[in-house]
Chain A
């Protein structure tokens, strides 16, 4: 067998386009997942026992089932209930909702880690609930939620590869398609693996730098 990686690398522009879609969906999906996860965690904290229970169910279902089954359900099952999405929209929605379930648990643990005395103190000096969240709870939990949040972002990056199975034109789909056209499957998957490996290592490295920066700001 001949191992000719040049065949794949000649398709550089196409690979870069796929990489662009991967990064775009990853960044946007993680952004929405963090926002939605934060809203869910906040609602569960302040919304009373009924809201807490009602939100706990989807969170547990999303965390207890494979992401692949979730996106199949959304993409192939959605049209039967009038939810007709193109692959990129379905992928982005799926990734955001799936990630939100995990981020809501990260923020929930963050909320629990802040001593109740600090919240009471904020209320005593007349902080509104929003002010308490913004100026007391969020800064205090930042250090604790940062490492799991970075981990989750990296998990989401790797999970974007699954979106190729619902025909999102991201990197895995693009590079495997090139491999089939050129009869160079092994070369294409090797290139694919190396690019993901590099991306994850860069993301890890950025995470460590951010953690160190935040740790310096910490007063406790």
Chain B
């Protein structure tokens, strides 16, 4: 295990961070949209969102990635492995994040929603300006948890051909015959990234505005 190999792993970890960050954000947007569908009062939208969430929470991420990787070319869409990885991770985390957001949306004080309606907000305006920001603030710790889960889950995107930290470790382990130090170093890098995310999140939470009183 040389410093050069470790540097290659560090470089590959940038791809891990990039893919995870984009997927978390895309997943968050999709999760808010899924929550809107669930609260729309339309039972087809409710059922569709429920089915989406159940499927992506019920099937292993590895199988989801294999499905997307094999399905897209068959229906005529060829995407680079980076895009495939981001789509796979985003869809999966969206389902988990929607489930986390459910608690947040239920916790929005009813008085605030009623006052918004009294002030003439439409249902959509209330959703965008009142319910969503409060639900996001309330579920911030769950979002951080999910971010750490996705950072770890991103190790699976090697199956769609993207070279991130785990794939780089696999390649290096195969070419140098030193799997022990290389996989241990990869694990260490994941651990450090996760510790930094957890630490930064605690700082960020202190800086965020407090929650409305019940």
Q: Once the chains are docked, how many angstroms separate the CA of A161 from the CA of B159?
A: 13
* B50 contacts chain A at the CB level, 8 A cutoff: no
Known pairs A77-B180, A161-B60, A197-B59; A72 contacts B169 (CB<8 A)? yes
Q: Once the chains are docked, how many angstroms separate the CA of A50 from the CA of B155?
A: 33
Please, which residues of chain B bring their CB within 8 A of the CB of A65? 152, 187, 190-191
Q: Mark B166-209, 1 if CB is under 8 A from A, else 0.
A: 10011001000001100110110011001100000000000000
Q: Is the CB of B166 within 8 A of A69?
A: yes
Q: Once the chains are docked, how many angstroms separate the CA of A165 from the CA of B183?
A: 15
* B55 contacts chain A at the CB level, 8 A cutoff: yes
| Cβ contacts A to B, 21 pairs, < 8 Å | A1-B74, A65-B187, A65-B191, A68-B155, A68-B156, A69-B155, A69-B166, A73-B183, A77-B179, A159-B60, A161-B62, A162-B60, A165-B62, A172-B60, A189-B63, A189-B71, A192-B63, A196-B59, A196-B63, A200-B58, A201-B54
List chain B positions with a Cβ less than 8 A from chain A: 54-55, 57-64, 66-67, 70-71, 74-75, 148, 152-156, 159, 166, 169-170, 173, 179-180, 183-184, 186-187, 190-191, 194-195
Q: Mark A143-165, 1 if CB is under 8 A from B, else 0.
A: 00000000000000011111011
Q: How far is the CB of A8 from chain B (nearest CB, A)?
A: 13
Q: Contacts A64-B191, A65-B187, A186-B71 given; 15 further ones with Cβ under 8 A?
A: A64-B195, A65-B191, A66-B166, A69-B187, A73-B187, A76-B173, A77-B184, A158-B59, A160-B60, A164-B62, A165-B62, A172-B63, A192-B66, A193-B63, A197-B54
Please, which residues of chain A bring their CB within 8 A of the CB of B155? 66, 68-69
Known pairs A158-B61, A161-B63; A72 contacts B179 (CB<8 A)? yes
Identify whether the interface residues of A are mostly helix, strand, loop, or mixed: helix
Q: Is the CB of A193 within 8 A of B195?
A: no
Q: Once the chains are docked, how many angstroms separate the CA of A172 from the CA of B156?
A: 14
Q: How far is the CB of A163 from chain B (nearest CB, A)?
A: 10
Q: How many contacting A-B pairs (Cβ < 8 A)?
A: 106
Q: Is the CB of A185 within 8 A of B63?
A: no
Please, which residues of chain B bring their CB within 8 A of the CB of A76? 173, 179, 183
Q: Once the chains are docked, how many angstroms separate the CA of A212 from the CA of B26?
A: 36
* A206 contacts chain B at the CB level, 8 A cutoff: no
Closest 10 CB pairs of A and B: A77-B180, A161-B60, A66-B155, A76-B179, A73-B183, A200-B58, A158-B60, A65-B187, A66-B152, A197-B58
**Which residue of B has the minimal Cβ distance to A200?**
B58
